[in-house]
Chain A
């Protein structure tokens, strides 16, 4: 289930030392630097828990720490997010089958006097938006701290093996994985302090300043105090209703990319993809590159939603795209064994007798994302539901400042768009946060305005129209 050869990636080079972990007492080979969920997948284990009431099997879904389907008991501690927790020699992993109980002997993190780290700008999220925010806030003169709950920097860039669009000065023609490396390097050059495996669990107003409460490695409480904060927490995968959509083997598209492109583990042998937006199309191509058979891409809309060129790439490799088709149900006992799809008529009703059965062990949902706004919500930023932007988003001004002074937003947590726009927004938010912290000279406003023009240009085509419509509803001056 692990790759040895890949046209773009070299996993042998990145895999760490071999370690042994134990799943319900049975030894499993794993590599340092990979997550528990990855190692279990490589060993063919798909069922991570059973639901408490109906005891239905559950497996990995999002693989980036944003949902609850991968929670397992690790070294006796329940509810560990195995998708973002790295393996360690001798770890004991168990399925959660009942309501989990914290063992009496385990100690929760100490709440008294946690270490407090201070900066001008605290950036939450180490993806394209967060990294660009940190880099540019630093360049504008701010002391910057960046935290991310994942074990590596890059956010979703680390699984983007395709080349980016846009202008060459905006990394067009460069693969996402390479952009992650370039930006990480830029952070290093600037001595920006980075806290990985650190989850921001609270965002508070503390006098004129902000306090971010973080938990490091599930154990240690850390406080980050900043004059301003940039929230770049990304997005999470959407789910759609269909029968058995909770079976192990139904994944968010991003989870498959994580398994396959970040860790070099095959998600399965035969895949059905739901959704022909860019994510679904790119995923199909990546699966083909990894030697996995894609049976079809189904899309409920009457046309392909992503870039045509991505569609052409997968069609010429023989992967069918069925527009006006939807998934009816997943079938299988303990995990996906089949997918049943059907055609839709012009009123979105299933055409009787149009059912098709695909023998697949993986169903990938690429049906869109919604912004992760939990921290912004919790501190009280004004929120609005804007479907064009992917759901609930925060009101902000053209410099990405929310309705709470000193709190900025960027990237997918601001609205669902491209990594390129996330990077541009990150730059705007980072400089603006440094300005608001009172550490950047007013001359930096020019750079903000230049970046705003670049964003405008990127969004000026048909693909930007929907976002621009949505932005009219949330951007205030």
Chain B
């Protein structure tokens, strides 16, 4: 029997798997400006990320191919994060000892800029708190999905992929 990859047994990618299937941007690139990272390692018939990218940074040989991002071409515009039907695109940007992670947020409440939120990793565990620095509301998002950018300690940049908003 073929070995089943960890991500299909458990439903989440480890950072090692991300490196293996997706390839990560260099530290230098991460410090320049936000960069889009596709967490989409499986061949499915889907192409909106490639179609919407204004700089052709999303590479895909055929409609079932796994999207890979040319990190040098990526301008960090976040359109792929907004449109992705699988909510599988994220943007990461390092600033000093902080990182800013941009992610889709389709649950209520949608946080406000400046609000402190609980950071969740890929299995939904609380791993700290961060501050929301940008919100693109649903109406302004290209894909009808609100997206938020959250500032957090740089060491959490490759762990945190969701947030929980707790009000009182």
- Interface on A for B, CB 8 Å cutoff? 5-8, 162-168, 172-175, 178, 276, 288-289, 291, 302-304, 307-319, 321, 323, 420, 457-464
Chain B residues with Cβ below 8 Å from A174 are: 144
Q: Which listed residue (A6, A162, A303, A318) contacts B123, Cβ 8 A? A: A318
10 interchain residue pairs of minimum CB distance: A318-B124, A461-B64, A309-B86, A311-B11, A163-B85, A165-B46, A303-B8, A316-B162, A173-B48, A309-B88
A464–B52 alpha-carbon span in the complex (Å): 24
Q: Which listed residue (B85, B87, B121) contacts A172, Cβ 8 A? A: B85
Q: Mark B1-42, 1 if CB is under 8 A from A, else 0.
A: 000100111111100000000000000000000000001111
Q: Mark B64-88, 1 if CB is under 8 A from A, else 0.
A: 1000000000000000000111111
B124: min CB distance to chain A, Å: 3
Interface: B122 (CB within 8 A) = yes
Q: Which listed residue (B8, B42, B106) contacts A7, Cβ 8 A? A: B106
A314: min CB distance to chain B, Å: 7
Interface: B96 (CB within 8 A) = no
Contact A288/B48 with A304-B11, A316-B161 known, Cβ cut-off 8 Å: no
Question: By the criterion CB–CB under 8 Å, are B47 and A172 in contact?
Answer: yes
For B105, give the chain A residue with the smallest CB separation.
A7
Q: Which listed residue (B43, B108, B110, B123) contacts A316, Cβ 8 A? A: B123
Q: Which listed residue (B64, B84, B123, B146) contacts A462, Cβ 8 A? A: B64
Question: By the criterion CB–CB under 8 Å, are B123 and A166 in contact?
Answer: no
Known: A308-B40, A316-B122. 19 other contacts (CB 8 A): A7-B110, A162-B85, A163-B144, A165-B44, A173-B48, A173-B142, A304-B8, A309-B42, A309-B44, A313-B86, A314-B11, A315-B124, A318-B125, A457-B45, A461-B43, A461-B64, A462-B64, A463-B43, A463-B44
For B42, give the chain A residue with the smallest CB separation.
A308
Question: By the criterion CB–CB under 8 Å, are A312 and B122 in contact?
Answer: yes
Interface: B107 (CB within 8 A) = yes
Q: Which listed residue (A289, A310, A315, A463) contacts B45, Cβ 8 A? A: A463
Chain A residues with Cβ below 8 Å from B88 are: 309, 312
A166–B47 alpha-carbon span in the complex (Å): 6
Interface: B128 (CB within 8 A) = no
Chain B residues with Cβ below 8 Å from A172 are: 46-48, 51, 85
Question: By the criterion CB–CB under 8 Å, are B108 and A464 in contact?
Answer: no
Chain A residues with Cβ below 8 Å from B161 are: 312, 316
Range of interface residues on B (Cβ < 8 Å): 35 or more
Question: By the criterion CB–CB under 8 Å, are A317 and B83 in contact?
Answer: no
For A311, give the chain B residue with the smallest CB separation.
B11
A337: min CB distance to chain B, Å: 26
Chain B residues with Cβ below 8 Å from A302 are: 4, 9
Contact A316/B120 with A168-B51, A457-B63 known, Cβ cut-off 8 Å: yes
A6–B11 alpha-carbon span in the complex (Å): 26
Question: By the criterion CB–CB under 8 Å, are B8 and A167 in contact?
Answer: no
For B65, give the chain A residue with the smallest CB separation.
A461
Chain B residues with Cβ below 8 Å from A458 are: 45, 63
Q: Which listed residue (B8, B45, B145) contacts A166, Cβ 8 A? A: B45
B9: min CB distance to chain A, Å: 6
Q: Which listed residue (B4, B41, B62, B83) contacts A460, Cβ 8 A? A: B62
Which of A7, A309, A323, A459: most chain B Cβ within 10 A? Answer: A309
For A285, give the chain B residue with the smallest CB separation.
B106
Chain B residues with Cβ below 8 Å from A317 are: 107, 120, 124, 162
Q: Which listed residue (A173, A178, A321) contacts B11, Cβ 8 A? A: A321
Question: By the criterion CB–CB under 8 Å, are B107 and A7 in contact?
Answer: yes
A448–B43 alpha-carbon span in the complex (Å): 26
Question: By the criterion CB–CB under 8 Å, are A321 and B10 in contact?
Answer: yes
Chain A residues with Cβ below 8 Å from B64 are: 460-464
Question: By the criterion CB–CB under 8 Å, are B48 and A168 in contact?
Answer: yes
Chain A residues with Cβ below 8 Å from B42 are: 307-309, 462
Chain B residues with Cβ below 8 Å from A164 are: 85
Interface: B143 (CB within 8 A) = yes
Q: Name 20 interchain pairs, CB-CB below 8 A, sorted by A.
A: A7-B107, A163-B85, A163-B143, A164-B85, A168-B47, A168-B51, A172-B46, A172-B47, A173-B142, A174-B144, A304-B9, A311-B11, A312-B7, A313-B86, A315-B123, A316-B122, A317-B124, A321-B11, A457-B45, A461-B63
B159: min CB distance to chain A, Å: 10
A277: min CB distance to chain B, Å: 13
A166–B64 alpha-carbon span in the complex (Å): 9
A399: min CB distance to chain B, Å: 22
Chain A residues with Cβ below 8 Å from B123 are: 315-316, 318
For A172, give the chain B residue with the smallest CB separation.
B48
Chain B residues with Cβ below 8 Å from A463 are: 43-45, 64
Question: By the criterion CB–CB under 8 Å, are B41 and A167 in contact?
Answer: no
For A313, give the chain B residue with the smallest CB separation.
B87
Question: By the criterion CB–CB under 8 Å, are A308 and B11 in contact?
Answer: yes
Chain B residues with Cβ below 8 Å from A462 are: 42-43, 64
Question: By the criterion CB–CB under 8 Å, are A315 and B12 in contact?
Answer: yes
Contact A307/B44 with A316-B122, A457-B63 known, Cβ cut-off 8 Å: yes
